[in-house]
Amino acid sequence: METEIKKIIEEFLTKTGFDFTSVSSELDMDSGSFWFDIESSDSRFLIGKDGETIQSINYLVRRFVDKKYQENSPRVTVDINKYQKSKIEKIKTIAHMMAERARFFKSSIELEPMNSFERRVVHEYVSNHSDISSESAGFGKNRHVVISFVK
């Protein structure tokens, strides 16, 4: 399955004309998802402004994989030169700081607007803490996470 998904990604990149050196994969044991890291000298084009292109690539690859595997479709994330992993670490750091702030002030803290991927990272981080909860609020581009202290 992993090699077939890798072929889907390589074919997609080749047909779209993006230059890439290699595609490596690993299974994330925590989430059970496959991570495919693309090494490329065209990373700024593949990532795009504020990560918009990489989001689109992830969406399209997920649709290809869903179509191929249907009900047994694995969770797939495409990364470019480890951009996503570093971004996830930054988001987790922000979530940790805001969770500590919510604990200290025993209140709710609103984060900056985030896309759905970033909000999911925050929700997953917060779910590991019993005294903190999170929920998404707002609409469209203003959708954000609210981290709250739970007594």
Q: What is the pLDDT along the chain (151 residues), one digit of tens a residue?
A: 888 999 999 999 999 988 899 999 998 777 778 999 999 988 898 999 988 899 999 999 999 999 998 888 888 999 999 999 999 999 999 999 999 999 999 999 999 999 888 999 999 999 999 999 999 999 998 999 999 999 7
Q: What is the pLDDT of residue 21?
A: 92
Q: What is the pLDDT of residue 146?
A: 96
**Which pTM was predicted?**
0.79
Q: Quick check: 148 and 132 in contact, CB under 8 A?
A: yes
**CB-CB neighbours of 125 under 10 Å:** 22
Residue type, 106: K
Q: Quick check: 119 and 136 in contact, CB under 8 A?
A: yes
**CB-CB neighbours of 25 under 10 Å:** 14
Q: How far is CA 49 from CA 29, 44, 56, 61, 134, in A?
A: 30, 8, 12, 19, 27
Q: What is the pLDDT of residue 70?
A: 86
Q: What is the pLDDT of residue 18?
A: 87
